[in-house]
Amino acid sequence: MSKLAKSQNEAPLYIKVHAEDNVAIIVNSGGLSKGSIFSCGLELRESIPQGHKVALTDLEQDEPIVRYGEVIGYADSPILQGSWVEEKLVRLPTPPELDELPIANHVPLPLAPLEGYTFEGYRNEDGSVGTKNILGITTSVQCVAGVLDYAVKKIKEQLLPGYQNVEDVVALTHNYGCGVAINAPDAIIPIRTIQNIATNPNFGGEVLVVGLGCEKLIPERLLPDGDSSNIVSLQDHHGFMSMIQSIMSMAEEKLVKLNRRQRVTCPVSDLVVGLQCGGSDAFSGVTANPAVGFAADLLVQAGATVLFSEVTEVRDAVHLLTPRVINQKVGQALIQEMKWYDNYLQKGQADRSANPSPGNKRGGLVNVVEKSLGSIIKSGSSPIVGVLSPGEKATQRGLIYAATPASDFVCGTLQLASGVNMQVFTTGRGTPYGLAMAPVIKVSTRNSLTEQWHDLIDVNAGTIATGEATIEEVGWEIFRMIVDVASGKKKTWADHWGLHNALCLFNPAPVT
């Protein structure tokens, strides 16, 4: 049976999020045809795809279109009740004025502590905890990537089988290090990103850097202690095999140390969890993201650190975040990150309407305002206790805003630099995204995506849309999944298949 035929045999369903909303999204898989009648008596004037919006009332030209209780745009022409509210009918509103935002005027009360939850992790000397036990080999410049990839292949074939407690060897290659304005002010972003990734908790404190010898980003800058004995410089070697043997020899020294690591019982407060969304759709803000937000609150209640990000998918809803910050200092830091990115986009003459992507629009999102309102829901309801600039390391517990671009790969790279030892990733359209350095739990917004990608999706939040489960129930499922994956008791599908995206640095500084 086709999706459309199946949907016609189901009772027509829509989701209205807020009492003041004048639009709702179609739930039925495959969408609904013209003439479909809802239980409330609303009749569709035209066929509407799944996830797309139907007008609940007649909308006059220039009348606000409201979803989530917020204005997502204005009607470019009259829209009749029961009609499809398509992207072309919605005029983009202006973003919130940053200098007029309320700050810390509705700080949520701390939620009751959630005690007694633990996981089995790898305790490091600096107090951090890994959810994986991995050897990471950092590069100071892109020139050495080919050599390191060859060496890592040899290490996995010849050395790793002898160290059963070490899960993997990862080459931290990137496109930075030379041919760049190394002392430009914004160069601090890619440099501290590489520095901080090298000390991610999943690497156990063992840092090894492969450099070339003439690069602008000297390898010593990437070592927390500047110990040159942890550097392999290729220009110091005679021949290719000498380079490979040197890397393998130093890697084996690290493997010996990492192999001694054992999982021990740790409180959930030692988790640092990154939240991200990609391939979003109109269900993201009503199923997966609210469920992740509920799980985020549970993590914060248990004392953990939770990071949410993606500046361009926060900017248009930032007026809902600044009231939640704990004080003026945190509020100003959040506003400053928005201003920095506004200026960055303006210098590049970026088109604000370029986000959402074509796939997001096919999933029912009409503009970046609607996307932002759905995106921030995954931050839950806890107070925002801190703000990080791109690539900065988290040093406090609680809910933290970590400023990053919205690009999945750039955001993931920057969250790893900020110290996440695992990530939760929501998707409506579907993406096989994964990280080699940290487990990624994939949460689907729709039942149909989970059915289609049954061996890629870890948690199905689509049951919320169909009334089979509540946000709270799926939120608890995600929380328990986080604990089990962090303990090594469960493996994500991305890790099962070995689906890992390459690091992607954010470099707003000039390339020379």
Look at residue 385 in the predicted model and tell me its pLDDT.
98
In this structure, the answer to whether residues 467 and 342 fall within a common structural domain is yes
Same structural domain, 164 and 190? yes
Do the Cβ atoms of 156 and 238 come closer than 8 Å? no
For residue 227, the model assigns a pLDDT of: 80
Does some domain include residue 508?
no
- Give the mean model confidence (pLDDT) for residues 256-272: 98
**Would you state the pLDDT for residue 225?**
82
Shared domain check, 150 and 247: yes
**Domain end residue (candidates: 258, 285, 313):** 258
d(CA 418, CA 437): 13
Is 179 domain-assigned? yes
Same domain? For 446 and 309 the reply is yes
Give the residue with greater pLDDT, 506 vs 228: 506
Query: Is the preceding omega at residue 356 within 30 degrees of 0, hence cis?
Result: yes
With respect to residue 439, please indicate whether it lies within any of the assigned structural domains. Answer: yes
Q: What is the DSSP track for 330-350? A: HHHHHHHHHHHHHHHHHHTT-
Question: Rounded to whole angstroms, how far apart are CA atoms 43 and 449?
Answer: 27
Q: Give the pLDDT confidence of 204-252 residue by residue, as tens digits.
A: 999 999 999 999 999 999 998 878 899 999 999 999 999 999 999 999 9
Per-residue tokens: 15:
């989701």
**Does residue 458 belong to any structural domain of this protein?**
yes
pLDDT one-digit tens code per residue, 171-189? 999 999 999 999 999 999 9
Q: Stretch 18-36: mean pLDDT, rounded? A: 97
Output the domain CATH number for residue 248. Answer: 3.40.50
Domain shared by 78 and 200, yes or no: no
- Do residues 288 and 234 share a domain? no
Summary mean pLDDT of the chain? 96
- pTM, entire model: 0.96
Q: Which of 258, 286, 317 is the last residue of a domain?
A: 258
Q: What is the pLDDT of residues 271-285, one digit of tens each?
A: 999 999 999 999 999
Does the pLDDT of residue 3 top 80, yes or no?
Answer: no
- Asked which of 201, 223, 258 is the last residue of a domain, the reply is 258
Q: Do the Cβ atoms of 130 and 349 come closer than 8 Å? A: no
Are residues 230 and 369 both part of a single domain? Answer: no
On whether both 437 and 367 belong to a single domain, the answer is: yes
Cα separation of 419 and 347, whole Å? 30
Residues 300 and 441 in one domain: yes
442 shares a domain with 313: yes
Q: Do residues 341 and 416 both lie within one domain?
A: yes
For residue 174, the 8-state DSSP code is: -
pLDDT, one tens digit per residue, over 320-376 is: 999 999 999 999 999 999 999 999 999 999 887 778 999 999 999 999 999 999 999
Residue 2: per-residue pLDDT: 43
Looking at residue 226, what is its pLDDT?
A: 76
Q: What are phi and psi of 499, to 5 degrees?
A: -90, 105
Give domain status of residue 354, yes or no.
Answer: yes
The band of 1, judged by pLDDT with boundaries at 50, 70 and 90, is very low
Return the CATH number at 57: 2.30.130.110
Residue of 138, 134, 136, 135 whose CA lies nearest to 209: 138
Go through 192-201 and write b for each residue having 16 or more CB atoms within 10 A of its CB, e for each that does not: bbbbbbbbbb
Interval 301-325 mean pLDDT: 97
Range of the domain at 443: 272-497
Does the residue 118 lie in any domain? Answer: no
451 contacts: CB under 8 Å, gap ≥ 6: none
Q: Is residue 129 part of a domain?
A: no
The kind and range of the H/E element at 496 are helix 493-497
Amino acid 144 reads V
Closest CA to 507 of 181, 66, 44: 181
**205 and 325 both lie in a single domain:** no
The 10s digit of each residue's pLDDT in 117-151 is 999 999 999 999 999 999 999 999 999 999 999 99
pLDDT given for residue 10 in this prediction: 82
Say if residue 286's pLDDT is above 60. Answer: yes
Domains held by the chain: number: 3
Q: Does some domain include residue 263?
A: no
Provide the pLDDT for residue 4. 44
pLDDT for position 7:
45
Q: What is the band of 9 on the pLDDT scale with cuts at 50, 70, 90?
A: low
